[in-house]
Amino acid sequence: MAEDYIKITRKNLGEIAEKLKEKAGRVIFSGPDIFGFGEKAELSLYDHPLIEEDNWFYTSRGSKKNKGRKLATRWENDRSYSLRPIPEPTGDAAWNICRDLAEKLVLGKYQFEIGFQSTVGGTLFAENKLALFIPRENSLEPAFYHALSHAAKLINNKKKTISEEHVKLMLDYVMQDLNDKKVFRKNVSAGMEADSVLGL
């Protein structure tokens, strides 16, 4: 039986790259947000990534035409996850309203948000970044538990904030969304609505 998940390292990179070419698995990343100053962690799920060279991954997305418009495809099963302090009001009413459109899981003074994965590539190996390969036939739950625990540890290195109970709440939230996609759909719509309100 295949392992629940495999940590991607430079030693097994070639083997994992071959499996991804065969569409035999998915990848979860967990690490610090480079602009979060130790208070924010980011996680990513890619349903069909590929590995390029020795430190790069990318995901191949497609497009289709619908009523004369070109629409992106193959992004629906990817996810972006953010764990960060609940932000203070900005003083700008429109920004505050738009920020509140998305659903979030509140964890004390922190919030966990599920969103659209706009990034289509990046580095595999960076400081405090974890990359996990999950065989296609396996549940994502054990890997997500590991990735969320890693994110909590990064934040707790600065200040003990995210508890084991918080990790379990996030895991349940993630798995429920992967099952029914309700939060993801709501937050994608919220993002589009916010862009419209702000004229972006």
CA distances from 190 to 49, 72, 101 (A): 26, 18, 5
**What pTM did the predictor assign?**
0.89
C-alpha 99/C-alpha 176 separation (Å) is: 23
Percent of the chain residues past pLDDT 90, beyond the cut: 66
Residue 135 token pair? 């065989």
Q: Does 1 reside within a domain?
A: no
Q: Does 145 reside within a domain?
A: yes
Q: Does 121 reside within a domain?
A: yes
pLDDT digits (tens, 9 = 90+) for 33-55: 877 667 899 999 999 999 988 89
Output the pLDDT for position 127.
92
Q: Does 81 reside within a domain?
A: yes
Q: Does 118 reside within a domain?
A: yes
Structural domain of 123 = 6-198
The number of folded domains in the chain is 1
Residue 20 token pair? 């991804």
Q: Does 167 reside within a domain?
A: yes
